[in-house]
Amino acid sequence: MEQITPYIWEIPTSYKKGMRVPARIYASEKLLKDMDNGVFEQVTNVACLPGIQKYSFCMPDGHWGYGFPIGGVAAFDAEEGIISPGGIGFDINCGMRLVTTNLTYREVRPRLKELIDTLFKSVPAGVGCKGFVKVNKKEFTDVMLSGSSWCVEKGYGWKADIERTESYGRIDWADPSKVSEKAVSRGIDQLGTLGSGNHYLEAQVVHVKHIFDPETAKAFGIHTPEQVVIMVHCGSRGFGHQIGTDYLRVFEGVVKKYNIEVRDRELMCAPFRSTEGQDYYGAMACAANMAFANRQVILHRIREAFEKVFKTPAEKLEMNLVYDVAHNIAKVEEHEIDGKKKKVVVHRKGSTRAFPPGHPELCKLYRKAGQPIIIGGSMETGSHLLVGTEQAMRETFGSTAHGSGRTMSRAAAKKQVHGESLQKAMEKRGIYVRAVSMSGLAEEAGMAYKDVDEVIETVHNAGISKKVVKLIPCGNVKG
Amino acid sequence: MGKYKIIDDVAIADVAFEIYGKDVNGLFENAALAIFEQSADIRTIEGKKRESIALESDSLDTLLFDFLSELLYLKDAKQLLGKKSAVSITQSNKKYSLKAEIAGDTIDQRKHTLKSDIKAVTYHMFKVEKTKEGWAAFVVVDI
């Protein structure tokens, strides 16, 4: 492995037979040392896939996943390349949403428990949870086609939420005819639900010392010391999971047909322009739109909970959406490759889009500042808000990290800590947690994750995004 | 030989199982049990709700993948929290056919001690093989 800069490490094509491009890992020396070997195997397996451009990337929060590493980014030629469900993940458009309030921690603290208890009741979480939005099949098809817009039309949100969502909360190549009945019946009752695992809803505080870029923070709606914000992490629920499962089996049957050699069954893929590739792309977009709608409905419930607890309309509480980002998705984007603009299918699996100031895809509001990037840390340590850069466009197809990344397995975490004692210890430190599953809570303990600040320093110093604000948790709802 | 074992540090963010069975039916039943016990404390499940599964596949490993995926489907679409399963697999003309009866409860967050909402069965290191003692499988599920 060759060190290219203090934060970029390259694995040359000579590492493995079949590598079409080198692999590049963004990491500090410490993060690289702690990465499992599986990451290096997986990032180089991706480098063997047809049509891959420039490099197969892994972000500093990277860890061993299935198919692609988590933290993997790869762009494939839109004409000659492939699309792979393993480069997106089963939780299609798993993503983050950040909402401001004009309340300070001093105002929220006396009612924190009431607030978190209310949120716990209004946003269903855990195994088998059903959402409060009841839709029929026709309406669910509209959700697949319209995403966040469907919610706003139905009164679950504000018009301004739309432009503050990646792809304006609606991916327009969605094709419901490519989605199975099974996927529909798995997801139709789940609009407005969190799920479990590492998904959460969190109340967070902005301390003055954590505002690194006051001007950009202000542009994003963060302006007051001790301001309270809300962060949400979830995806397309059973609907997306079923689409991922369905197409993994479809693609398994077509790799031979298209004579594609894959090194891992989770890297099953099809040429992007093939019927199967386009079918998956259309179905994936339906799941992506459902995920945008899911987080939009959750935002609506969060606003209702605040209105109930603080007896003030959400508008007056300035509960504005900062942004909604997807971190498990594939999209056709135009990037400059060898001096020429080219259309590529960018796969981000555990990676966030990081578009710079001036990018035409961004809404007017953020055109000058750049795209907000929401990075969820562990529930004990904190999360970050960053902004996209030109350098990310040049180097990583406009992509950056997505979280802090796990370092410890779920089983190992549970051996070290019990859910109940963790809940009590966190409360002592000022973080009030409500969880459906106590074992699930233990699995998400802070010690199971990498140091989020080290990840953020890496992407900041590497230049693929810039620090804006660090957010400290004070309340958490988990599945 | 137990029914299954959780393998640590194979899938950092997910859960890996090594599953055993005296015969293929037992292997599939134990694989289902691994899924059930990952989803909830099955001692809190009565097992009065029944669902049937019928599947066909060209190979045993895709049959296991489809069977376990079907359990996740039933969890979301039919609200079925499984407790145990009875599996019967037959083979003819190079096709494997599976019939299974699942016993469980309708999910009730007040009654059941719930664990993880499993997203999907993955093909990561997925394996079904005949061993000296019977059958074994390796399955990683996405949490």
Across the strands, what pairs with B19? B4, B137
Beta strands (DSSP E) in A93-236 are 95-104, 200-206, 227-234
Which of A91, A412, A479 has the CB atom closest to B8's CB atom?
A412
Across the strands, what pairs with B15? B141
Count of CB pairs separated by less than 8 Å, A with B: 134
Q: Which tokens sit at B60?
A: 């045993």
pLDDT digit string, tens, across residues A148-203: 999 999 999 999 999 999 999 999 999 999 999 999 999 999 999 999 999 999 99
pLDDT at B9 over 80: no
Question: Helix (H, G, I), strand (E, B), or coil: what is residue A13?
Answer: helix
Beta strands (DSSP E) in A219-293 are 227-234, 270-271
A406 touches B: beta carbon within 8 Å: yes
A408 min Cα distance to partner chain B (Å): 6
pLDDT digit string, tens, across residues B74-95: 999 999 999 999 999 999 988 9
Do B122 and A249 lie within an 8 Å CB cutoff?
no
Question: Helix (H, G, I), strand (E, B), or coil: what is residue A332?
Answer: strand
Catalytic status, residue A402:
yes
Considering only residues 224 to 243 of chain A, which have any Cβ-Cβ distance to chain B shorter than 8 Å? 237-238, 241-242
Beta-carbon contacts of A336 under 8 Å, excluding residues fewer than 6 positions away, are A342, A393, A394
Q: Which of A233, A300, A384, A402 is catalytic?
A: A402
Mean pLDDT value across chain B = 96
pLDDT at A263 over 90: no
Beta pairing class for B135-142 and A352-353: unpaired
pLDDT at B118 over 90: yes
Do A63 and B109 lie within an 8 Å CB cutoff?
no
Contact residues on chain B for A249, CB-CB shorter than 8 A: 62, 65-66
Q: How sure is the predictor about B10, in pLDDT bands with cuts at 50, 70 and 90?
A: confident
Across the strands, what pairs with B137? B19, B128
Contact residues on chain B for A407, CB-CB shorter than 8 A: 12
Amino acid at A388: G
B38 min Cα distance to partner chain A (Å): 10
Contact residues on chain B for A127, CB-CB shorter than 8 A: 39-40, 75, 81, 107, 109, 114-117
Contact residues on chain A for B126, CB-CB shorter than 8 A: 265
CB-count exposure of residue A430 (10 Å: 0-12, 13-18, 19+): middle
What is the side-by-side strand order in the sheet with A2-5? A2-5, A8-11, A23-26, A56-63, A70-77, A340-349, A328-337
Beta strands (DSSP E) in A426-465 are 432-435
Determine the pLDDT at residue A441.
96
A381, A452 contact by CB (below 8 A): yes
pLDDT digit string, tens, across residues B31-44: 999 999 999 999 99
Neighbours of A193 (CB within 10 A): 27
A164, A96 contact by CB (below 8 A): no
Beta-carbon contacts of B36 under 8 Å, excluding residues fewer than 6 positions away, are B42, B45, B71, B81, B82, B83, B84, B104
Determine the pLDDT at residue B8.
83
Across the strands, what pairs with A203? A230, A475
Compute the distance between CA of residue A192 and CA of residue A68 in angstroms, rounded to an integer: 28
Beta pairing class for A70-77 and A82-83: unpaired
Mutation site, A137, A182, A245, A268, interface B, largest B CB count within 10 A: A245
pLDDT digit string, tens, across residues A71-110: 999 999 999 999 999 999 999 999 999 999 999 999 999 9
Do A67 and B116 lie within an 8 Å CB cutoff?
no
Determine the pLDDT at residue A207.
98
Q: How sure is the predictor about A11, in pLDDT bands with cuts at 50, 70 and 90?
A: very high
Beta-carbon contacts of A68 under 8 Å, excluding residues fewer than 6 positions away, are A42, A43, A46, A74, A84, A86, A87, A89, A267, A347, A349
Buried residues in B79-107 as b, exposed as e (16+ CB within 10 A):
bbbbbebebebeeeeeebebebebbbbeb
Do A70 and B13 lie within an 8 Å CB cutoff?
yes
Which of B12, B109, B122 has the CB atom closest to A409's CB atom?
B12
Beta-carbon contacts of A367 under 8 Å, excluding residues fewer than 6 positions away, are A357, A358, A359
Which of A186, A409, A411 has the CB atom closest to B77's CB atom?
A186
pLDDT at A304 over 80: yes
Mutation site, A269, A437, A438, interface B, largest B CB count within 10 A: A437
Determine the pLDDT at residue A327.
98
Considering only residues 325 to 344 of chain A, which have any Cβ-Cβ distance to chain B shorter than 8 Å? none
**Phi, psi values for residue B78, rounded to 5°:** -115, 5
Q: How far apart are the first and last CA of chain A?
A: 40
Q: How sure is the predictor about A128, in pLDDT bands with cuts at 50, 70 and 90?
A: confident
pLDDT at A69 over 80: yes
Do B77 and A185 lie within an 8 Å CB cutoff?
yes
Determine the pLDDT at residue B1.
73
Q: How sure is the predictor about B73, in pLDDT bands with cuts at 50, 70 and 90?
A: very high
Compute the distance between CA of residue A207 and CA of residue A472 in angstroms, rounded to an integer: 8
